[in-house]
Amino acid sequence: MSYEMLVGLNVSNDAIYDQYRAAMKPLLNRYHGGFRHDFRIKEVLKTEATHNINRVFTIYFPDETAMTAFFSDGEYKAIKKQYFEASVLNTSILAAYQRPN
């Protein structure tokens, strides 16, 4: 089993967002996490979000505890502040679930 989230973003600057992904990837690996799918979206046909979504991905961890530890990590918070906040206007957690391996 793994813990996975389906996330929708409104990315405003792809270049800075790519820097965010590159900076956070080694830390994500240390928490045994990763991305299963990653899409750039051209057109949204239906959403309950109140903002645009132009990026959708799944991120996974061994369990919910590892996910919480990753997002609480001081190193992650610094990376997020430097890159994520400068490149993402909105975030929507579309789903979170246990996934059988």
* pLDDT value at 91 more than 80: yes
Q: Quick check: pTM over 0.75?
A: yes
DSSP element (H, E) containing 17: helix 14-30
For the domain covering 2-99, report its CATH number: 3.30.70.100
Instruction: For the chain, give every domain's residue range.
Output: 2-99
6-53 pLDDT tens trace = 999 999 999 999 999 999 999 999 999 999 999 999 999 998 988 999
Contact yes or no for 70/61 (Cβ under 8 A)? yes
Distance CA 35, CA 45 (A): 24
Residues 6+ apart with CB under 8 A from 16: 83, 86, 87
Task: Identify any residues that bridge with 83 across adjacent strands, giving them in sequence order.
Answer: none
